[in-house]
Amino acid sequence: MRDIYDGLAGMGIPISRIFYESFGPATILKSETAAEIAPRDTVAVPVRFARSAADADWSRDRGTLLEFAESLGIAPNFGCRSGICGTCTTRILGGAVDYLEEPVAPRGTGEVLLCCSVPRRGTEIILDL
């Protein structure tokens, strides 16, 4: 399934038009990170990890919010790293995120899934983490 996904993406098929279904928390379909999906987007977005007292500028080459947090020495909870289990659910106190693809795990108002989201351009993200 990963080979087909990568092949379609490599042919220029928009990610939003590629549909698939995964079973099990260990399934990670994409072989690339967020940084590889849109490497041209270099606009920095300020992110504050409120409880960790960490501030840093995120850009596409920093990956998902989960990858970004980990690169700063923050250790959020996670499981599948693919939007399925909901373990990485975190409250967002400010700003907005975009999902690399619509996650399977439900999330409540004011919650985001770190493993499959990136900061929305033009916002300032504040996470309760």
Binding of ligand FES by 99 (CB under 6 A): no
Smallest separation, CB 25 to ligand FES (Å): 7
Binding of ligand FES by 86 (CB under 6 A): yes
Binding of ligand FES by 115 (CB under 6 A): yes
Coil, helix or strand for 118?
A: strand
Smallest separation, CB 21 to ligand FES (Å): 15
Spatial contact of 63 and 35, defined as CB atoms under 8 Å apart: yes
Report the distance separating Cα 1 and Cα 67, nearest Å.
24
Report the distance separating Cα 105 and Cα 90, nearest Å.
13
Binding of ligand FES by 79 (CB under 6 A): yes
Binding of ligand FES by 30 (CB under 6 A): no
The H or E element that residue 94 is part of is: strand 89-94
DSSP β-ladder status, 117-119 and 97-99: antiparallel
Tell me the window of 14-22, 47-55, 73-81, 121-129 that interacts with ligand FES (CB under 6 A).
73-81
Spatial contact of 105 and 85, defined as CB atoms under 8 Å apart: yes
Among residues 9, 45, 100, 105, the one that binds ligand FES under rule CB under 6 A: 105
Residues near ligand FES, by CB under 6 A: 78-81, 83-88, 105, 113, 115
